Amino acid sequence: MSDAVASARATAERISKLRRLNAVLTKQTELRKALLAQAAAARPTGVLYGMPVAVKANICTLEFETSCGSHILEGYRSPYDATAIARLKAAGALIAGATNCDEFAMGSSTEHSAFGRTLHPLDKTRVPGGSSGGSAALVAAGAVPAALGSETGGSVRQPAAFCGVVGIKPTYGRVSRYGLVAFGSSLDQIGVFGRSVHDAARVLSVISGRDLRDNTCEDRDPLRLPTVPENLDGFVIGIPREYFPPDLDPGVRRACERAIRILRELGAAVREVSLPHTPYAVPTYYIIAPAEASSNLARYDGVRYGPRAEGSLADVRALYRETRGSGFGAEVRRRILIGTYVLSSGYYDAYYRKAQQVRALIAQDFRNVFDRGVDLLFTPTTPTPAFKAGAKLADPVQMYLSDIFVCTANLAGLPALSLPIGRVKGLPIGGQLIGPHFLEDEMLEAAYALERAVPAAEEA
């Protein structure tokens, strides 16, 4: 028996034992069959030979449904692999099923999936974060060493922090978006979860690099993994004061203060900096992202995509209304309505154009800090540990605010990483590193050093 076949069987068994999490949307028999078929075809010379990698259900694969967690795409099978998937397969990796997610990646808790919520792997009463909660939970539970998610406003880093794993969002344009179902095209990026920085970085290095099928993908070579540093001598780490408000959860604050102390002990120079437009990040994001979503989701009309509504319909408008009304969940409909409103005649300048101007100011804040000698920024990933399931469903604004520390990197197109830095009452806390464009190698160096030194499983 080859190593890949043994890995395929063990992975199928582990995922089967974790069915209660509802982290994987693929049926167990289908998953096992697909894993074994891939194992037989995997290249033994590949750098990820036999490594199982689960994939969020909004990334196209030939083996599994690409449902995006939505009834409107239930049963849809892509006729092609996303570029990231093709590169994983070429490296010998095994695609380990489609993971649960908020519908069309719109959510922060994986409670908006049409197929039921994913449970937190440490506490079933809490959410694993979102929208990539299924991928995060599967890695945290030990079923796979790595998984792909997607980021539009923090949907890899936020669940990584909640579940106690590593989550990396690359620079916009570092990884091809070909085969990633579009939500917000100027924000979307495929990201990676890993049990360790090294696991996540290995997968990121494989899927990165130029792709002629994606015009937003930069003409750059694949990411090269840095060596693990002995210390952080020479690094200048900025601590943005806006990310440490007075109402920050005390446990999160203690964990971050300990991590900052460790960064100093590792030799880094730590200085306070300011990103003054940070308070406007969430309202800016929740204008731009829904606007782009309203455009991208217009194709799901019962003609081009999605099941056609049954019964006699008066006209095309009725067809659209019935198809989308039955196919889309409440959160997707809410964002389409918001996006259509802010793009409508008479409101475009007041909302969408203004949001784009503020987005430019947020990006300029980061440039100002990095131009003044700061190499990386360190912040909390989330303002609280994982919250209770159902606690924020009735108040969408409170749900949106859980992304307050992560959506800025998407608006600015910067690379960012979350890694575990402690626990509060048994729940993981994540610390975030944000770097300049295309300097993932420096960000990974600091993450390697911090991961090795910080007591991630210790109470803060």
The total domain count for the chain is 1
Choose the catalytic residue: 7, 67, 131, 294.
131
Find the domain containing 333 and state its range: 1-460
Cβ atoms of 216 and 413 within 8 Å: the answer is no
pLDDT for the residue numbered 323: 87
Using the predicted structure, report yes or no on whether residue 415 has a pLDDT greater than 70: yes
Q: Of residues 372 and 302, which shows the higher confidence score?
A: 372
Would residue 131 show up in a list of annotated catalytic residues for this protein?
Answer: yes
pLDDT in tens, 246-265: 999 999 999 999 999 999 99
pLDDT in tens, 109-153: 999 999 999 999 999 999 999 999 999 999 999 999 999 999 999
pTM metric for this prediction: 0.97
- pLDDT bracket for residue 391 (50, 70, 90): very high
pLDDT in tens, 294-353: 999 999 988 888 787 776 577 888 888 888 988 999 999 999 999 999 999 999 999 999
CATH classification at residue 160? 3.90.1300.10
Using the predicted structure, report yes or no on whether residue 457 has a pLDDT greater than 90: no
pLDDT for the residue numbered 312: 58
Percent over 90 (pLDDT), the chain: 92
Using the predicted structure, report yes or no on whether residue 205 has a pLDDT greater than 80: yes
Choose the catalytic residue: 7, 70, 155, 418.
155
| Residue-averaged pLDDT of the chain | 96
Would residue 56 show up in a list of annotated catalytic residues for this protein?
Answer: yes
